[in-house]
C-alpha cells in the first residue's frame, strides 16, 4: 500500500418456524444464538450469518451473488422472469444456509427494484412460497439508515458534519451525519433512483467508450441534477469534509486503485483513499471499451457494463461533497440489520 493510502483501525425476515414472527419477541431475542441478515438489492443478493461476540459479532457464514434482479426494469417497469429465476436460485442457497446454521432470528430486506416493480408484490409472495424467505420491502429512508448503522464506525475522526453514501443497483442514498455525540445523528438524507443498473439501462452507456461519446458526462450530469434538492440543503463546511462510501462501486474502484489481482476485503474495508486518486481510476475505466473493462482485475465480465455508471455516480458525489479523502467500507445494510437484531430490535 503506497503513501497515498491509509487505513482506519479497525421484520419480518428469514426466520425458521420455531422463531416465527408471532413468537414473543423477548423470548426470540433471549434464545437467539445465530443471527442472519439478507439484503436483496437491484443487482446483488447478500447474506450474512453471525453470532454475538463482545460488543460486536463474529461472522459464521456469508453468501453473495450478482443476480441483476432489476435488469430491464427501467424499460418495462417489471421484474423479468429470467431475473426472478436467477434471484430465487440464489435465495434457495440462502435458505439452505439458514437451515444448516440453525439461525434463530433473522431479517431479509429488499430495496429499490422491489419498490419500483409493478410485479414486486407477486415476486415477494413467490419467494416466500418457494424458499420460505419473507422479504421486507423497506423504504429508501430505512435503507439509508441501515447502511449508516452498519458502516459509520469507519468514519475518520473529526468535527463537523460527515457524508455517508451507498451506491446501489437501483438507487443511491446520501446521509448527512452529525458526529458530535457518542452515536452519529442523521441530520438529513436523500435518495435518488439512479444506481448502477438503472443509470446504465436508462442512458445505455454500458457498452461504448463513454468518455469519447460524451455519455459519461451525461450520466454524471443526470445524477448531479437529481442531487440538487439535497445540495441546496447542505450546510457550509469550513473545516475538513469527511466522506465514507459503502457499495460494490467504491470497493471495486478501491481495489483497482490498489492494483489488486483479486478482491481482498481485509485490504479494502477501512481504507482511506485520496479523492483525486478515485477520480483518476474512474476516468480511466470510463475511457475503456467494454472488453477492456472486463479484463481489469476485480471488475471482470460481471461488472464491466455497470462500473461506468458507478464511476459517474461517484464523481457526482465527489462534486457534491468535495472531500480530500474518501473512506471505503465493505459493510453496510446487512451489518446494520445484525446490530439491530443483536440489540433486541427487529426494525
All domains in the chain, ordered by first residue: 11-140+333-342 (3.30.420.40), 154-329 (3.30.420.150)
**In this predicted model, what pLDDT tens digit does every residue of 277-330 receive, in sequence order?**
999 999 999 999 999 999 999 999 989 999 999 999 999 999 999 999 999 999
- Give the 3-state secondary structure of residue 22: coil
Task: Output the pLDDT for position 204.
Answer: 63
Residue 212 has pLDDT above 60, yes or no: no
Pairing of strands 44-53, 35-40: antiparallel
The contacts of residue 311 (CB under 8 Å, 6+ apart) are 216, 249, 253, 281, 282, 283, 285, 286
Percent of all residues in the chain with a pLDDT value above 70, rounded to a whole number: 87
Task: Output the pLDDT for position 259.
Answer: 97
Contact (CB, 8 A) for 7 and 267: no
Min mean pLDDT across 9-23, 86-100, 131-145 is at: 9-23
Evaluated on CA atoms 286, 288, 294, 295, the torsion sign reads: negative
**In this predicted model, what pLDDT tens digit does every residue of 120-148 receive, in sequence order?**
999 999 999 999 999 999 999 999 999 99
Amino acid at each position: 500500500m503506497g503513501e497515498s493510502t491509509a487505513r482506519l483501525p479497525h421484520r419480518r425476515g428469514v426466520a425458521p418456524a420455531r422463531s416465527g414472527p408471532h413468537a414473543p419477541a423477548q423470548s426470540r431475542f433471549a434464545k437467539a444464538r445465530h443471527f442472519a441478515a439478507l439484503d436483496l438489492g437491484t443487482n446483488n443478493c447478500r447474506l450474512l450469518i453471525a453470532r454475538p461476540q463482545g460488543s460486536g459479532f463474529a461472522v459464521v457464514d456469508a453468501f453473495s451473488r450478482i443476480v441483476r434482479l432489476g435488469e430491464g426494469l427501467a424499460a418495462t417497469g417489471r421484474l423479468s422472469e429470467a431475473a426472478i429465476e436467477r434471484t430465487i436460485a440464489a435465495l434457495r442457497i440462502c435458505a439452505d444456509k439458514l437451515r444448516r446454521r440453525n439461525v434463530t432470528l433473522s431479517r431479509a430486506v429488499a430495496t429499490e427494484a422491489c419498490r419500483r416493480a409493478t410485479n414486486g408484490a407477486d415476486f415477494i409472495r413467490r419467494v416466500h412460497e418457494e424458499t420460505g424467505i419473507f422479504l421486507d420491502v423497506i423504504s429508501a429512508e430505512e435503507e439509508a439508515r441501515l447502511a449508516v448503522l452498519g458502516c459509520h464506525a469507519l468514519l475518520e475522526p473529526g468535527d463537523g458534519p460527515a457524508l455517508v453514501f451507498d451506491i446501489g443497483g437501483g438507487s443511491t442514498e446520501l446521509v448527512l451525519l452529525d458526529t458530535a455525540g457518542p452515536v452519529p445523528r442523521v441530520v438529513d438524507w436523500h435518495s435518488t433512483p439512479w444506481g448502477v443498473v438503472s443509470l446504465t439501462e436508462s442512458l445505455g452507456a454500458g457498452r461504448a467508450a463513454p468518455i469519447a461519446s460524451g455519455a459519461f458526462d451525461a450520466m454524471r450530469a443526470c445524477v448531479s441534477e437529481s442531487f440538487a434538492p439535497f445540495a441546496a440543503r447542505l450546510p457550509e463546511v469550513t473545516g475538513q469534509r469527511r466522506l465514507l462510501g459503502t457499495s460494490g462501486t467504491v470497493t471495486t474502484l478501491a481495489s483497482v486503485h490498489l492494483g489488486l489481482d483479486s478482491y481482498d476485503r481485509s485490504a479494502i474495508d477501512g481504507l482511506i483513499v485520496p479523492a483525486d486518486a478515485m477520480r483518476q481510476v474512474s476516468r480511466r475505466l470510463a475511457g475503456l471499451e467494454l472488453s477492456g473493462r472486463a479484463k481489469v482485475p476485480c471488475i471482470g465480465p460481471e461488472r464491466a457494463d455497470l462500473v461506468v455508471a458507478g464511476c459517474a455516480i461517484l464523481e457526482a458525489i465527489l462534486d457534491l461533497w468535495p472531500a480530500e479523502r474518501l473512506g471505503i467500507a465493505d459493510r453496510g445494510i446487512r451489518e446494520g440489520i445484525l446490530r439491530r437484531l443483536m440489540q433486541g430490535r427487529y426494525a
